Structure 1
Amino acid sequence: MSTTTAPIPRILYRPEEAATALSLGRSTIYELMADGALRFVKCGRSRRIHHSELERFAASLTNQSH
């Protein structure tokens, strides 16, 4: 019998992962970060985007279409 563990939910995303999650290009994510439209945190030299920020950004896109 094998035991499987539940996957740990992701909290922080690399810009490339955020691009995949939002179905956007990597350069678009970096532009959104530079413009302040997509907030991020710095971890050393790396940038990470919190999953709630991705949800907030996606929700703002649907709000703009109304």
Structure 2
Amino acid sequence: MTAPTLDAPTRALYRITDAMRLLSLSRTVIYEQIRAGRLRTVRQGRARLVPAAAITAYVDLLEQEAQEGGTR
């Protein structure tokens, strides 16, 4: 079984642990990004889930910030 990639998400929603693996970030950093409004999540009952589109948007944000940082 292969791991999902950011190019072709296999699910619409990911648990925090899955988002941690996909983004190569620690639990602490994931929750910091959520609190800062940089990584969007939804609630399903008691579970906090990260939409696949939010993961893609977060990567896009990081790429944009990297480009802006390189041009200054």
TM over 0.5: yes
Structure 2 residues without counterparts, runs of 5 or longer: 1-9, 68-72
Q: Distance in 2 between matches of 1:28 and 1:16?
A: 12
Query: CA RMSD of the aligned region, Å?
Result: 0.8
Deviations 1:26-63 (A, max 9, x none): 11111111121111100111100100110010011011
Q: Which residue of 2 aligns with 1:40?
A: 41
> What CA deviation, in whole Å up to 9, does each residue of 1:8-30 have, x standing for no partner?
x2110111110110111111111
Q: What is the identity, as a one-letter code, of the residue corresponding to 1:28? A: V
| TM-score using structure 2 length | 0.75
**TM-score (normalised: structure 1):** 0.81
Please say which structure displays the higher CA radius of gyration: 1
Q: Percent identity?
A: 34
Alignment coverage as a number of residue pairs? 58
Structure 1's unaligned 5+ residue stretches are 1-8
